[in-house]
Amino acid sequence: MNTLRTGNPNKVVVACLDGRRLKGHVYNFSVLHESFRLFPEDDDGLHAGLELRVKDLKAIFFVKEFAGHPERHDRTEMLPHGHGRVLSVTFADGERILGTTEAFNPRRFGFFLFPLDQEGNNTRVFVVNPNAREVKQL
């Protein structure tokens, strides 16, 4: 079980297609794997974690803090340090995120999107391509 916990954990909020938002840590996420293990946010090292299939998710938000700041609204203008193409991603439930990427390919299973607002809570977002309603270059 400890072999799944190698390296530094990433704080994530997982957005499921069924509307749930799961918070926890990931150690083994890879764009090359169909699933990964999510460990509770208050992980004491005794939990086996929850196995999640990427195809059942709309996105994985890699975050600075679990709580975030719901009252804060991210800026949407392009800042000078941005790189890659600016994309707007809209999901079936209407949620829309903006960011930059250098790796979008509609034929791939997913891609990382980097938020336009570096001061926000998200550091990067893994978007599951088949579960996005629209991906548009701005």
Residues 81-138 pLDDT 10s: 567 899 999 999 999 999 999 989 999 999 999 998 878 899 999 999 999 999 999 8
Per-residue model confidence as pLDDT tens digits over 55-76:
999 999 999 988 866 665 555 5
The single-letter code of the amino acid at 120 is: G
Task: Round to whole Å and give the CA distance between 15 and 24.
Answer: 12
Question: What band does 10 get if pLDDT is binned at 50, 70 and 90?
Answer: very high
Beta pairing partners, 97:
89
Task: Round to whole Å and give the CA distance between 34 and 53.
Answer: 6
The size of the chain, in residues, is 138
Structure tokens of 116? 């336009």
Q: Which pLDDT does position 1 carry in this prediction?
A: 40
Question: What band does 3 get if pLDDT is binned at 50, 70 and 90?
Answer: very low
Per-residue model confidence as pLDDT tens digits over 71-96:
655 555 555 556 789 999 999 999 99
Compare 80 and 1 and report the one with higher pLDDT.
Answer: 80
Backbone phi, then psi, for 76, in 5-degree steps?
Answer: -120, 0
CB 85 within 8 A of CB 93: no
Q: What is the mean pLDDT of the chain?
A: 85
Structure tokens of 94? 């209407």
Rounded to a whole number of angstroms, the distance between the first and last alpha carbons of the chain is 44
